[in-house]
Structure 1
């Protein structure tokens, strides 16, 4: 490191390493930022698409209710019940209309395996059920008239009073209730209700679909077939998740979690933003909120897609590795180039130094690179000039010593000085001798 060549190489390597480090860090940070933005945009699109599938699950219930509410048995039962159990329009009895309604309910439930009940409930007589079909395992069973219940005190019945014709209401997710209390099956149920109006535009009753909430979510998950960890969370904190390679986990009800819920659930509960994402050291969670129209307490369903950060930033990490390799290659090439350049730069200087050392021991004149037009050439010419002056001085000194012994000294003006004293050798070290020396070198 003491040589000029070593210093040049070291300085070059330091500059290249420093620049490579700065550019690498800047490039990595820029790549991470751009990759994160693009990845989150892609994740947002995928999450919205999944949310659309879950919305379809609710839309199916809504459409089924709308279609069923427009079938002939709905108004036929109203006419027959208001006319002594005989429809004045076509002479159909209430029992016949009930059977026709049960058939329609069964045809709908047969295509919707997550539907557990369909009911036609009147507003009169304490909200008495008029028609009811239950799902018992794989069987669809009609409930006899003597087993029908009064549902007027149920929250969803009170909430549907005053709904517009065709407007669908979704209840909160609760355990299934029979005879005014939970039935003990712990079947989480969401209810969709549409009002029924008679010919006088007076609300006669409602049609209700009970859906197994867990089965509904599983039904939608089966349609999505995603390869990413996905959560669905409602406004109460109930959630279900899909794990790639493992499938859909059990539904977690907010009143009795089997395991601690992920941290992001507490972050998103009550969060007013429709879309957002959350970052931690390990994951990126993208949230899309799907509002449920005409639901109680402004109900909603959040769809959350969770992706490992290292997977999301895989391209950025690859760019980081490539940048490091490129920096090492540049450093190696710079080291090689600096070595060759320093060698070429210092070869004339080294040769000049060796020639001067050789001349000092041999007495020969050193060979100098006087033809160079750089700093080394200037140094060589300056040294050559200094060497010539030294030779001239030495020649004068030798001449002085030679003529001093003869009693005369050469003059720089072409004249001789006669000695008026004994030979110079006898006056060595005297003041006059010093005067002769000064005179001879003028």
Structure 2
């Protein structure tokens, strides 16, 4: 049987159409798979960072509770002059705190005297918080969470290592993963007279923190040496407590860089060893511990099954396969009549797929066609739109997280981290060009009395008002930041002579002391300002901050509501 040129051309065009459809499907599937994996990695890393932030917020909440207890009159009274009435009142308070925080296993008030004797102790028994009395109270002075905490200054937090609790009379926490947080209790002379200690249920705390994560996510936690503390398989946790070590870097080799401190995060696919049958996508980050502790950092990670990540890709692959099969059949049946008409749109789709695979815009597609090619083009266009939308959403989320990581949540001013970066940049510029850097350290006078007498809500209004005033009284090139509490700093964006610094400081003092109307109160809040300058008052960012802080304290000692230079203004 002889084939004419039309048949040959039709067959050739049909083959070209099949090839174009196949290439389009391949590029679309391969690109969507790669983008889905990349999107999953970004999502995992973002989720891990959010979880780390929630852990930090949980730690801050516990710290605030300990701070309240350490300053509570009942705690001080029980430690100085023990009596049953005050002890029972304090035990009731501790029990209420434990009812409000399910992850608290034990709350104790321990004396610095009598070998660290427990004065008041409340244990969790089931869901009930019960007071321990009499001979069941023990001497705990030899434990680090007592001995080390007594050495700390007022308001400082001690954090123990995360271990299995084998301490006698540990209540519900016995033989369970736990950690202790403690804070010293001071008398009016500033001497440590005892400590308040909270035992945290590690499994319970992480169960609460991970409750909002998708069920398929797997949570991992390791200490700074890589010992696994939290793992989906509980038999792999706390190996050092069982006479062996199970390390996260042995299970996931890429995490070695985080454990050794060479990287602050890693994102990878695990497809070998124990994960050969069920590969996962994982993200691990380093979580530093900034309080007094025998642990200096933790390694936190999340993993997601790779099959679940690629499920959408597989569904898309089936759709593409169906489209390609239909297109091939249409090419065979209609190539004789529509060969020329199909050549251009198929080429357009192929080029679009190639551009898409190369990260470029796909360009024009034959979306108006009502045949299989149009269906393929619209499916490709919809897929491209959805992937771009997902990437845009991820970018928005990333920008929001970056903003939260660099700004104070109350005042929306730059936080210590962002301010440190800008100060380092200003110092580098000043060293290169031989110019000056001017730093003003501002501390509100008697702010603690506002919080104590009127409450933190009023205090927050005062802090936000002061922040707004500082921004209004400074230039756009200046940086106003909140370091924490009632401490603010102003980094001038350009060198200024000493007489100008004096004018700026006086302007800030006058503007800040203006009356503040909060609820039914009219407050007059003053501030003390310390000024340091580069290069005469320090060569590094730390020296500049420390010296400005010292100058601020000199201003307070001089009567407050004033400012002081760290060194002679004429220098």
Please, what TM-score do these two structures have when normalized by structure 1?
Answer: 0.61
Distance 1:18 1:75, change over 3 A: same
Distance in structure 1 (CA, Å) of the matches to 2:171 and 2:43: 43
1:270-291 per-residue CA deviation (whole Å, 9 max, x = no partner) reads 1644443221343222335544
Alpha-carbon shift at residue 48 of structure 1 (Å)? 3.9
Q: CA deviation at 1:194?
A: 0.8
Change (3 A) 1:46 1:322: same
Question: What does residue 517 of structure 2 align with?
Answer: none
| Distance in 2 separating the partners of 1:254 and 1:339 | 72
- 1:268 is matched with 255
Match of 1:361 in 2: none
Partner residue of 1:153? Answer: 142
Deviations 1:76-105 (A, max 9, x none): 245xx3xxx4xxxxxxx6444333322222
Q: Could you say which residue in structure 2 is the equivalent of 1:207?
A: 196
Deviation at 1:195, TM superposition (A): 1.4
- 1:284 matched to 2:276? The reply is no
Q: Against the structure 1 CA distance between its residues 266 and 40, is the aligned structure 2 distance closer, same or farther, given a 3 Å change threshold? A: closer
Partner of 1:18: 19
Q: How does 1:71-110 map to 2 (within 5 A)?
A: 71-78=72-79, 81=80, 85=81, 94-110=83-99
Partner of 1:4: 4
CA contact (8 A) 1:106 1:133 kept: yes
Partner of 1:230: 218
Q: 1:152 to 1:337 in 2, by over 3 A?
A: same
Q: What is the CA–CA distance in structure 2 between the aligned matches of 1:46 and 1:179, rounded to whole Å?
A: 38
2:152 match: secondary structure:
coil
Q: Check whether the contact 1:47–1:303 (CA below 8 A) recurs between aligned residues.
A: yes
Moved more, 179-188 or 150-159: 179-188
The question of 1:197 aligning with 2:178 is answered no
How many residues are treated as equivalent by the alignment?
A: 322
**Residues 54-86 of structure 1: CA distance to partner in whole angstroms, max 9, x if unpaired?**
4444344222212211211122245xx3xxx4x
Matches of 1:137 and 1:315, distance apart in 2: 44
In the aligned structure 1, how far is the partner of 2:115 from the partner of 2:91? 22
Give the Å deviation of 1:309: 2.2
For residues 292 and 142 of structure 1, do their structure 2 counterparts lie closer, same or farther at Cα, with a shift above 3 Å needed? same
1:209 to partner: Cα distance: 0.8
Asked if structure 2 preserves the Cα contact closer than 8 Å seen for 1:229 and 1:241, the reply is no
Residue 292 of structure 1 and its aligned partner are, at CA, apart by: 4.1
- The aligned counterpart of 1:329 is 326
Q: Deviations over 1:15-36 (max 9, x none)?
A: 3333333333222222222233
* Structure 1 partner of 2:28: 27
Structure 1 residues not aligned, in runs of 5+: 86-92, 243-248, 343-442
> C-alpha distance in 1, partners of 2:236/2:180?
17
Provide the residue aligned with 2:361 in structure 1. none
Give the CA deviation at 1:155: 2.6
Match of 1:410 in 2: none
Structure with higher Rg: it is 1
Moved more, 266-275 or 145-154: 266-275
Shift in alpha-carbon separation, 1:232–1:35, aligned structure 2, 3 A:
closer
Higher relative contact order (CA 8 A, sep 6+): 1
Task: Sort the Cα spacing of 1:204 and 1:267 in 2 relative to 1 into closer, same or farther, 3 A.
Answer: farther
Secondary structure of 2:228 counterpart: coil
Unaligned runs of 5+ in 2: 272-278, 340-571
SS at match of 2:239: coil
| 2:12 match: secondary structure | helix
Deviations 1:350-380, CA, capped at 9 Å, x for gaps: xxxxxxxxxxxxxxxxxxxxxxxxxxxxxxx
Superposition pairs for residues 275-314 of structure 1, below 5 Å?
A: 275-281=265-271, 282-294=279-291, 295-300=293-298, 302-304=300-302, 306-314=303-311
* SS of residue paired to 1:276: strand
Aligned to 2:513: none
> For 1:398-429, what per-residue CA distance to the aligned partner results, in whole angstroms no more than 9, with x for missing partners?
xxxxxxxxxxxxxxxxxxxxxxxxxxxxxxxx
Give CA deviations for 1:187-224 in whole Å, capped at 9, x if unaligned.
33211101122212222221101123233333444x53
Residues 169, 293 of structure 1: 8 Å contact kept:
no
Normalising by structure 2, we get a TM-score of 0.49
For residues 407-426 of structure 1, the aligned pairs below 5 Å read none
Equivalents in 2 of 1:212, 1:297: separation in Å?
17
Q: Aligned-pair RMSD on alpha carbons?
A: 3.8
Residues 301-335 of structure 1: CA distance to partner in whole angstroms, max 9, x if unpaired?
A: 5141x333232233333333333333333333333
Offset, 1:138: 4.5
SS at 2:333 equivalent: helix
The alpha-carbon deviation at position 151 of structure 1 amounts to: 1.8
Q: Distance in 2 between matches of 1:11 and 1:4?
A: 12
Distance change >3 Å, CA 187–CA 333, structure 1 → 2: closer
> Does 2:242 correspond to 1:254?
no
- Which of the numbers 129, 133, 136 marks the counterpart of 2:122? 133
Task: For 1:22 and 1:176, locate their aligned partners in 2 and report how far apart those are by CA, in whole Å.
Answer: 60
Give the structure 2 partner of residue 402 of structure 1: none
Q: Could you say what secondary structure the match of 1:297 adopts? A: coil
Moved more, 313-322 or 167-176: 313-322
Whether contact under 8 Å (2:44, 2:282) holds in the other structure is: no
